[in-house]
């Protein structure tokens, strides 16, 4: 574990989808910066392993299995976080699904609904629960939504996923405006192509990967740690004048 710099000292953070990939990198970075972290994901064994890794490295974390598409599970997640740590200051809505890879003409309504249930209904439900808690406390807070550059551009073969990320960006901006005067900030991360199991359909397809890397100024695919630094910034008081913002972390893929 790196030396604790304490940029998130005293903060309690829930990170969904944090047992691998970008979510895990964010949870670990938060713990290194002094936050108490609630690791949340669907599979209990993954939650246990990711939590143990943080604790073994000297961090303070608990794990709560949670399917964010289920409102009762979201409520229980926040309740367990408050029961353990007394409060929640930061929520990272990172859990996502992408069950269909192919043209939108072939997308079933069932797959569309599943994608929206996890990628939009989950963040929407969890955010409202955490907002109620923050407003009741009269406390500032930071909501961070993991969107994607695919929410800002055409998303061939990943249409449903791109639609949900565009909706998440819209939700981020509207909530930021509606929460004016509360001290609660709402921002989004928009990663480009990142080396994760979640993105394997793109990363492991040589033609797709090479076409994206060819358009990327830094000439490489990202790694989860590239995104975690942005999350730390948005969770910390360093970004106290930043809200409604979409932080693109894509190596320069979308600047051309």
Task: Reply yes or no on whether the pLDDT at 214 is more than 50.
Answer: yes
The structure's pTM equals 0.95
> First CA to last CA across the chain, in angstroms?
38
* Helices and strands per DSSP (H, E), number in the chain: 9, 7
SS3 243: coil
* Lookup result for tokens 């989808």: 17
Task: Reply yes or no on whether the pLDDT at 203 is more than 80.
Answer: no
Identified catalytic residue from 100, 161, 233, 241: 161
> How does residue 98 score in pLDDT terms, banded at 50, 70 and 90?
very high
Domain ranges of the chain: 12-248
Q: E-strand spans in the chain?
A: 12-16, 36-41, 60-65, 90-93, 141-146, 184-191, 246-249
Q: How many CB atoms neighbour CB 138 within 10 A? A: 8
pLDDT of residue 198: 66
12-248 has which CATH code? 3.40.50.720
pLDDT of residue 201: 66
233 is catalytic: no
> 226 burial class (0-12, 13-18, 19+ CB within 10 angstroms)?
buried
| CB-based contact 140:179 (threshold 8 Å) | no
């Amino acid at each position: 574990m790196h030396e604790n710099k304490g940029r998130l000292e005293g903060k309690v953070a829930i990170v969904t989808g944090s047992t691998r990939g970008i979510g895990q990198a964010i949870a670990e970075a938060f713990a290194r910066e002094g936050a108490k972290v609630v690791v949340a994901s669907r599979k209990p064994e993954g939650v246990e392993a990711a939590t143990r890794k943080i604790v073994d490295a000297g961090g303070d974390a608990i794990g709560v299995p949670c399917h964010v598409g289920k409102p009762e599970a979201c409520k229980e997640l926040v309740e367990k976080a408050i029961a353990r740590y007394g409060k929640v200051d930061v929520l990272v809505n990172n859990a996502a699904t992408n069950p269909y890879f192919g043209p939108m003409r072939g997308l079933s309504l069932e797959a569309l609904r599943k994608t929206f249930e996890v990628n939009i209904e989950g963040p929407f439900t969890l955010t409202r629960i955490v907002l109620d808690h923050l407003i009741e406390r009269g406390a500032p807070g930071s909501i961070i939504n993991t969107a994607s550059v695919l929410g800002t551009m055409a998303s061939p073969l990943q249409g449903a996923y791109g639609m949900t990320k565009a909706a998440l960006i819209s939700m981020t901006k509207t909530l930021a405006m509606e929460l004016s005067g509360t001290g609660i900030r709402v921002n989004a991360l928009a990663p480009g192509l990142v080396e994760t199991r979640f993105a394997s359909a793109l990363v492991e397809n040589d033609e797709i990967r090479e076409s994206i890397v060819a358009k990327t100024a830094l000439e490489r695919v990202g790694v989860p740690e590239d995104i975690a630094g942005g999350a730390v910034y948005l969770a910390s008081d360093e970004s106290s004048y930043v809200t409604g913002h979409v932080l693109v972390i894509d190596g320069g893929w979308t600047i051309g």
